[in-house]
Structure 1
Amino acid sequence: MPSHLNQASRFTALLITCFAACLHLTICDAADSGTQPPRPNILWLTSEDNGPELGCYGDEYADTPNIDQLASRSLRYRTCWSNAPVCAPARTTIISGMHATSLGGQHMRSSVGLPDDMKLYPQVLREAGYYCTNHTKTDYNFAPSDQDAGWHESGKKAHWRNRPSEDTPFFSVFNYTISHESKIRNKPHTLVHDPAKANLPEYHPDTPEVRRDWAQYYDRLTEMDAMVGKAIEEINQAGLADSTIIFYYGDHGSGMPRSKRWPFNSGLQVPLVVHVPDAYRDLAPSDYMPGGVSDRLVSFVDLGPTAISLAGTQPPANMQGAPFMGKYAGEPKEYLFGYRGRMDERIDLVRSCTDGRFVYMRHFYPDRPYLKHVGFMFQTPTTRIWKQMYEAGELNDAQSKFWQVKPTEELFDLQNDPDEVDNVASLPQHAEKLSEMREATKDWMRSTRDLGLLTEAEIHRLAQNESPRTIGLSDRFNAAALVDAAWAAGDAWQACDAHTIEAMQALFGTSDPGIRYWGCRGLALGLASHGTVLSDDETSAAVGTLMQALEDENPSVRVAAADILIRVDEPSVQKAAADELIRLAQLPEEGYYVAIAALNVIDMHRESVVRHSEEALDSIRDNHPNAPRRGGDYVKRLLTTPGQSQD
């Protein structure tokens, strides 16, 4: 070998050795200094009022090419629940990383206050150095003083482009309202999807109105899909595709009736697609695969903690969700939970649970129909024609069910009954699964200190200058005892005997007004149950207890007592109940939420109340004060809109 080549080789080897040494020092210095590679940007794209009716979820009627394309290079979650089946409580859950039931925010337009030291996920991300923006939608269900979630920008001009420098990581949310319930009935609209090809759920009647609403819903999803595509293209054009983790999800089930507002799977299951660029695969879940499907159970309570985990920060201890990605990813869940409280003017209490295949539901007001008259819902043509056909006797059993009263508990097998119309709770082969999910729901309600066990009026009465969450964590709220009492009251609806009556009377004899409330509810359900086996003396004793409850110091207990006494076939008893309901419905004597509760009972038994107190009811209607609030004045709606009378 020529000498000059030998010298060149030795020189090259020396350079390589020096470069390797320098590189080693650089790596060591970086490790010693704690320097990390740049953190990912995080983009959330959310759409309103839509479940997984998308092409990537196997829906052949859908036309959603942009989301389908995103899913083809991302991970799609098979089972994601919104926890609440309506926007405001669902957003309470997302923004807080806590179940809305733990904050008293499970009701529509709850306006609940938060503890002073509680942080919402944008505040945590902002402290972690992220530039946080929210495009337009808030609706967090909080009191006005707590509506500031900590965004750098929130509104129509909010955008990740406004960050102070290109080196600043961003967390940015864009909300698309084009698929909202109100857009289904928005006219004029020229249909693109063929109504004749729409796949109707078993519970909806097959009419032109219903087919048109479903077709228009799918049209809106196509429009929404284009907006999602535009947002992704903005990221691509800015050269940020390799540094941005993208989430797409819907905010609860479709805006069609019996999806939205109801914690069936149809009201809670949403699409969730997550894209993680190659540079951040160490933050992706272990089952991440482009175009893959995850069987991991996730829900909205997990979203905030997951975003915080992706930012490299540990979620606050108060957050109940489990991160499913990032540095602090937790263990997979065995169950997801859902909840329904007051929906606009109609009071209800339902809890649901899924393991991915089965859905368990517990009804705490089984004596009230599924689809009570919610004014906003009745603006949708499907709702109106569905109710008209029920009243005309033109529906089959599956379609009629949802205008009738409910069983205490239901179990649905999604594998064999995706529309959730066949309650298999009574079948012996499902007894073990029923017991398992029942206990899981009870344990969850206890452990999360479910404030829905108190009436909304009682929550506000106890809270006063405190947050409901503070009350829920105090000794004044006995979650375990309330779960047991509420469960016992519900069981009385299934069958009632002398032992049941004695147990409910014992609950009424306690000093806790929340327990007394469930004692009265249990007596009401027991006396109204089709499975009641009582002697005349036992019935008289139960009515006597309820007459005492009609004078209880707590207004919610008095509402519960009047709820059954107004049905007793004795004029003097009915009149006492009607007079008390009228008094409770008057504002501002007992308060707004007491009035809503009383008017819900009055509306269920309007003829009986009118028979004894028509003049007084007219007086309340004529003198009702103007009480405007977000979502409308629910007391006024109850006073002026005929609803679900069972007389």
Structure 2
Amino acid sequence: MKLPFFLILITSAVLAQTPPTRPNFVLIVGDDHDLSAIGCYTTLDGRTQAKTPNIDYLAKEGVRFTRAYATTSSCSPSRSTLLSGRHNHNNGQYGLAHATHHFRSHEELKTLPALLHGAGYTTARIGKYHVAPESAYTFDEALSDDGSNPVKMAGQCASFLEANRNKPFFLYFCTTDPHRAGSNKNLPYSANPHGNRPNGHEGVTETLYGMDSLRVPYFLPDAPETKAELAQYYQSVSRMDQGIGKLFDLLKQQGLWDNTIVIYLSDNGMPVPGAKTTHYEPGVRLPLIVRNPFSNRKNQVCDELVSWVDVTPTLLDYAGLNPPTMAKSSRPQGGGEFGERGPTSFYHGKSWKGYFDAIGGPNPVPFKSDTVFLSHTFHEVTMYYPMRSVVTKRYKLIWNVAHELPFPFAADLWSSATWQGFLKSGKTQYGPRTKDAYIHRPTYELYDLEKDPQERTNLARNKAYKAVYDTLLASLKNFQEMTNDPWRVKWVHE
């Protein structure tokens, strides 16, 4: 029996949207990439500040999340949450993995690459790794540890993509752009800029920015040093974007574009005081763009709250592994009262796969997420400043656990042209807060993000917000208990 033509069309459309049993995954992680430095998130006077045509193209092909949060604004801890699905206070990656800092996750941790490998995926990483130990974050292949040239990185992925055209794979693609690379006496900011290399970067067509035309983000002082720094920062963002574009081209050339879920995000905020290492919005509210070729969601925006602990359970969900999450657990694991509980057996995030399934699915379930939690303890080993935060659709409560200490400075943030220029200026106002308020913080900070998106007015001691404060604090304490946070003992000991 011949089907009517319209039924053939409908059947073909459904089949085109039906994913394979196990889709491929490409997770692209920018380094210190701020929301203000990405075209599809920021348009000023009809013009984009940073030119990111390839990331913008990904957004048109998929979904741009507007309320996506890194759970901690520090490289290694943030990447550990991405790959483990657990907050860093639980997975053990309290701070940076490299050099004297030497922080390491628990050896027995079962992470995303290992679980996908067990499900038949071939896993590979390229560029910045920055987590430890390797036994906990094991990939089948390490294509290169050099993330300084994103265009070259993309080319190094070609053979891997060709070899895995007919079997599922997970590619973890991590540039070091736009992270500051180091000091250069001739440059106020050194994020691997073109001027650092006599012949530029191999295969890269650099995009240069004139500092005089740039508008300064609200969280930074409007000064020549800041604009000079931004010009080179945006240059490194555009270089990263060019490498991402080449990677997209390779996926298409290998016939992989239409069966690969591509995710772009950043590990933490811009490498300047006021953003990176803080729980303020510029430090933790970051880009998240997802292209799911099996979903009808194209060129859409999602305003639900998600965080980086959601990434592992989401990809495992797509792989059909039904990950156990905190929402399914009724109680924390057993253990003593002094914070010695180990990693949980469940993930701390939730899968947002349902958001993409909701359109055209047989039983569409709207995806809703109105709360995320943040957890920071160290950056460098000398930077002990634990913070625990809860963010809802409207409010954010920050608990500065070690509030009696001055807020510490990362070495690269202290040496930034923006901060050094601010110190030399003798001014006291740095972005939305004074220098003293930035360094000396109260025990609690409560912000109404709807009325006060720049987090200028602390409402923690405002009697009119006592009910909000009490509710959020209770939620934060419960989160610490559920996730085996060793710092929960502070409620008893201090």
TM-score range, shorter chain: 0.7 to 0.9
Which of 121, 124, 128 in structure 2 is aligned with 1:130?
121
Amino acid aligned to 1:259: A
Q: Sort the Cα spacing of 1:430 and 1:214 in 2 relative to 1 into closer, same or farther, 3 A.
A: farther
Match of 1:33 in 2: none
Which of 282, 286, 298 in structure 2 is aligned with 1:270?
286
Q: Sort the Cα spacing of 1:297 and 1:394 in 2 relative to 1 into closer, same or farther, 3 A.
A: closer
CA distance in structure 2 between the partners assigned to 1:64 and 1:148 by the alignment: 30
Amino acid aligned to 2:245: G
Q: Sort the Cα spacing of 1:82 and 1:310 in 2 relative to 1 into closer, same or farther, 3 A.
A: same
| Preserved CA contact (<8 Å) 1:120 1:150 | no
Which of 364, 384, 387 in structure 1 is aligned with 2:401?
364
| Preserved CA contact (<8 Å) 1:322 1:331 | no
CA distance in structure 2 between the partners assigned to 1:438 and 1:105 by the alignment: 25
Deviation, 1:50, is: 0.9
Amino acid aligned to 2:87: H
1:349 partnered with 2:337? no
| Preserved CA contact (<8 Å) 1:160 1:171 | no
Deviation, 1:185, is: 2.7
CA distance in structure 2 between the partners assigned to 1:357 and 1:386 by the alignment: 32
Amino acid aligned to 1:155: S
Amino acid aligned to 2:210: D
Match of 1:169 in 2: 168
Match of 1:414 in 2: 449
Amino acid aligned to 1:62: A
Q: Sort the Cα spacing of 1:261 and 1:394 in 2 relative to 1 into closer, same or farther, 3 A.
A: closer
Deviation, 1:420, is: 2.1
Match of 1:149 in 2: 138
| Preserved CA contact (<8 Å) 1:134 1:159 | no
Which of 40, 43, 60 in structure 2 is aligned with 1:56?
40
Match of 1:304 in 2: 312
Deviation, 1:161, is: 3.8
Deviation, 1:325, is: 0.9
Which of 90, 95, 106 in structure 2 is aligned with 1:114?
106
Q: Sort the Cα spacing of 1:346 and 1:148 in 2 relative to 1 into closer, same or farther, 3 A.
A: closer
| Preserved CA contact (<8 Å) 2:178 2:240 | yes
Q: Sort the Cα spacing of 1:82 and 1:219 in 2 relative to 1 into closer, same or farther, 3 A.
A: same
| Preserved CA contact (<8 Å) 2:94 2:104 | no
Q: Sort the Cα spacing of 1:447 and 1:399 in 2 relative to 1 into closer, same or farther, 3 A.
A: same
Match of 2:322 in 1: 314
Which of 56, 77, 99 in structure 2 is aligned with 1:68?
56
Match of 1:335 in 2: 371
CA distance in structure 1 between the partners assigned to 2:301 and 2:371 by the alignment: 18
Deviation, 1:403, is: 4.5
Structural mapping, 1:236-635, within 5 Å: 236-277=252-293, 280-281=294-295, 289-315=297-323, 317-325=345-353, 332-344=368-380, 345-370=382-407, 372-389=408-425, 392=426, 394-395=428-429, 398-451=433-486, 453=487, 479=488, 482-485=489-492, 515=493, 518=494
- Which structure features the higher share of strand residues? 2
Deviation, 1:95, is: 1.5
Amino acid aligned to 1:129: G
Deviation, 1:89, is: 0.3
Deviation, 1:51, is: 2.2
| Preserved CA contact (<8 Å) 2:180 2:412 | no
Match of 2:251 in 1: 235
Deviation, 1:414, is: 2.7
Deviations 1:25-66 (A, max 9, x none): xxxxxxxxxxx9453211112211012221211333221111
| Preserved CA contact (<8 Å) 1:266 1:419 | no
SS at match of 1:78: strand
Deviation, 1:299, is: 0.9
Deviations 1:349-383 (A, max 9, x none): 1112211332211111222233x343232221112
Amino acid aligned to 2:190: R
Deviation, 1:201, is: 4.0
SS at match of 1:295: strand
CA distance in structure 2 between the partners assigned to 1:254 and 1:91 by the alignment: 16
Q: Sort the Cα spacing of 1:413 and 1:214 in 2 relative to 1 into closer, same or farther, 3 A.
A: farther
CA distance in structure 2 between the partners assigned to 1:159 and 1:174 by the alignment: 9
Deviation, 1:122, is: 0.7
Deviations 1:111-139 (A, max 9, x none): 335253x3111111111111111112221
Structure 2 stretches of 5 or more lacking a match? 4-18, 146-152, 183-188, 197-205, 325-344, 359-364
1:88 partnered with 2:95? no
| Preserved CA contact (<8 Å) 1:176 1:224 | yes
Amino acid aligned to 1:74: G
Deviation, 1:432, is: 2.6
CA RMSD in angstroms, aligned pairs only: 2.9
Structure 1 stretches of 5 or more lacking a match? 1-12, 18-35, 282-287, 454-478, 486-514, 519-647
| Preserved CA contact (<8 Å) 2:62 2:299 | yes
Match of 2:242 in 1: 226
Amino acid aligned to 2:373: F
- Bigger radius of gyration among the two: 1
SS at match of 2:304: coil
CA distance in structure 1 between the partners assigned to 2:63 and 2:218 by the alignment: 30
Task: Name the stretch that deviates more: 212-221 or 104-113.
Answer: 104-113
| Preserved CA contact (<8 Å) 2:391 2:397 | yes
The share of aligned pairs that are identical, in percent, is 25
Higher-RCO chain (CA-CA 8 Å, sequence separation at least 6):
2
Q: Sort the Cα spacing of 1:446 and 1:169 in 2 relative to 1 into closer, same or farther, 3 A.
A: same
Q: Sort the Cα spacing of 1:435 and 1:160 in 2 relative to 1 into closer, same or farther, 3 A.
A: farther
Amino acid aligned to 1:149: T
1:97 partnered with 2:134? no
Q: Sort the Cα spacing of 1:78 and 1:113 in 2 relative to 1 into closer, same or farther, 3 A.
A: closer
Deviation, 1:385, is: 2.2
Deviation, 1:147, is: 5.1
Q: Sort the Cα spacing of 1:43 and 1:407 in 2 relative to 1 into closer, same or farther, 3 A.
A: same
Amino acid aligned to 1:305: P
Q: Sort the Cα spacing of 1:402 and 1:224 in 2 relative to 1 into closer, same or farther, 3 A.
A: farther
1:204 partnered with 2:220? yes
Which of 130, 134, 142 in structure 2 is aligned with 1:139?
130
| Preserved CA contact (<8 Å) 1:83 1:268 | yes
CA distance in structure 2 between the partners assigned to 1:147 and 1:483 by the alignment: 29
